[in-house]
Amino acid sequence: MAMTEEEKKYKNWIIILSVVIPVVVAILFGVNLRKLGYDVQPLSFLPPIYAAVNGLTAILLFAAVAAIKKGNAKLHERLIKLCIACSVAFLGMYVAYHMTSDSTPYGGEGALRYVYFFILISHILLSIIIIPFVLITFVRGIAGAYERHKKLARITYPMWMYVAVTGVIVYLMISPYYVHA
């Protein structure tokens, strides 16, 4: 099935955002304002907040799927928009934290260390991969391409849920090692 005119309208934006977001996050992740001589306070209070936002995203995603299964498309759309807003808020807080604070090394040992790094690496990789999936799935929904939206959502939903849930797990696993400045 061909793309709708509305989908075509957003195609370039989806490509641009899918490339620019991970690149900008990677660049900003490596910028520490304090090490560059700026007198900024570390935003050490942010990790539990952005972990909670990840948890909220997972709850809202689950509720969005439940809403559409009950035939409530308007609620589904509102919840998905909230999920996207939560993801954007998470990203802003995550970047702000890392631009003002030193990275926290994971202090666990043994098998738990391997579990942590497996979860962390899969979380990071899927958080990059999920961007075009979310954007395309969302655009298909608002463009009225419901069959194609539904087909892609079956892939997008579990990936997005995994990213949201593992974000919380990563936080819980590393939180004992945070140094509060």
Instruction: Report the CATH number that the domain containing residue 72 is assigned in CATH.
Output: 1.20.120.80
Determine, yes or no, domain membership for 16.
Answer: no
Determine, yes or no, domain membership for 55.
Answer: yes
Count of domains for the chain: 1
Q: Give the chain's radius of gyration (CA, Å).
A: 18
Determine, yes or no, domain membership for 94.
Answer: yes
Most confident of 29-33, 102-106, 139-143: 139-143
Determine, yes or no, domain membership for 31.
Answer: no
pLDDT over threshold 60, residue 83: yes
Percent of the chain, pLDDT > 70?
98
pLDDT of residue 29: 83
pLDDT in tens, 65-78: 999 999 999 999 99
Q: Rounded distance, CA 176 to CA 11, Å?
A: 43
Number of CB atoms found within 10 A of residue 133's CB: 19
pLDDT over threshold 50, residue 152: yes
Determine, yes or no, domain membership for 5.
Answer: no
pLDDT over threshold 80, residue 1: no
pLDDT over threshold 90, residue 36: no
pLDDT of residue 181: 45
pTM of the model: 0.91
What's the mean per-residue pLDDT of the chain? 94
pLDDT over threshold 90, residue 114: yes
pLDDT over threshold 80, residue 10: yes
Buried-exposed string 67-87: b where 16+ CB fall within 10 A, e elsewhere: bbeeeeeeebbebbebbbebb
pLDDT of residue 178: 81
Band (180; pLDDT cuts 50, 70, 90): low
Q: Which domain holds residue 82?
A: 42-177
